Amino acid sequence: MSATGLDLPITGARKRRRPLRRRVAALPGSTLAGGTIVGVIVLGAVLAPVLSPDDPIVGSISQRLFDVGSAGHVLGTDGQGRDILSRLMWGARPTLIAGVLPVLIATLIGTTLGLVAALSGGWPRTAIMRTLDVLYAFPAILLAIAIGAALGPGVLNAIVSLAIVLIAPIARVAEGEVLRVRSADFIESARVSGARWSTISRRHVLPNIAPALTVYCTSLIGLSIVYAAGLSFLGLGVSPPTADWGSMLNDLRQSIYDRPVLSLIPAIAIFLASIGFNLLGDGLRRQLDVNEEVAS
């Protein structure tokens, strides 16, 4: 208390930031769990050249189908004698690329289509949304398989097929969010002041729909990883002998009766990657909900 009876701020005093440990502890448990799982997978993929114990492509027939925990092969070997741990780490790269990249491409295209449809209205909106409804009517995995089969095997074709499948749901979410934001008072004020729709979209609409789209698209990455693994399992993904979790699952299915644990390893990796991104998306949703309540 100062002499005048008022609490005056101390000049030059710096606002203390919360320690990193407290900020991490304040995050939702799902965010920490999902971020940990995703971080371990990404770290293993990046450090595969350093951490992988063996060549993921070269094997030995004399070492085929070693059990988990065998000497020199922590996770065993496959039917061609290749180290499963090494293939799992190297296979995380194309798996993550085929899971993340389609979502990014579909987000750019779907958000643009949803934005144009919601802001234009009339026949452009009808044409865009009814066309997307045709894609949305098909089961996603069957549509991805059909497009992938038409384009042929390969990582690039798998990415294109998955991106096409994911455009429709992202566009619908984007359109709904834009319609919600469009009725806000600040949008009407910007329009009355003479601002163009392109300026309004860039400065007002996109920043307000970005949190919802970020949460939704993050949860779609796990689904995209499962779809990409399914395409590789059917031979529509990476070309042999490149390591990929879906192709590993296909290779090890022949030993499911002799070595059932080995055939479960790539399936567990796919499951953990999917659940990791789902938990991360759920944690982001909770965190954004808290921020919105505080802001209001």
List pLDDT tens digits, range 105-131: 999 999 999 988 888 878 888 898 888
Mean pLDDT over each residue of the chain, to the nearest integer: 83
CB 213 within 8 A of CB 174: yes
How much is the pLDDT for 8?
43
What ranges do the domains of the chain cover?
Answer: 71-295
Q: How far is CA 141 from the centre of its chain?
A: 16
List the single range of 45-49, 199-203, 236-240 with lowest mean pLDDT: 199-203
How much is the pLDDT for 38?
92
**pLDDT tens for each residue of 261-289:** 888 999 999 999 999 998 888 877 777 66
Residue that wins the pLDDT comparison between 10 and 240: 240
- pTM attached to this predicted model: 0.83
How much is the pLDDT for 195?
66
CATH level 3 topology of 71-295 = MetI-like fold (1.10.3720)
Q: How far is CA 118 from CA 23, 40, 171, 179, 230, in A?
A: 38, 39, 10, 6, 34
Torsion, Cα of 236, 237, 238, 239 (10° steps) = 0
If pLDDT is split at 50, 70 and 90, which confidence band does 18 have?
low
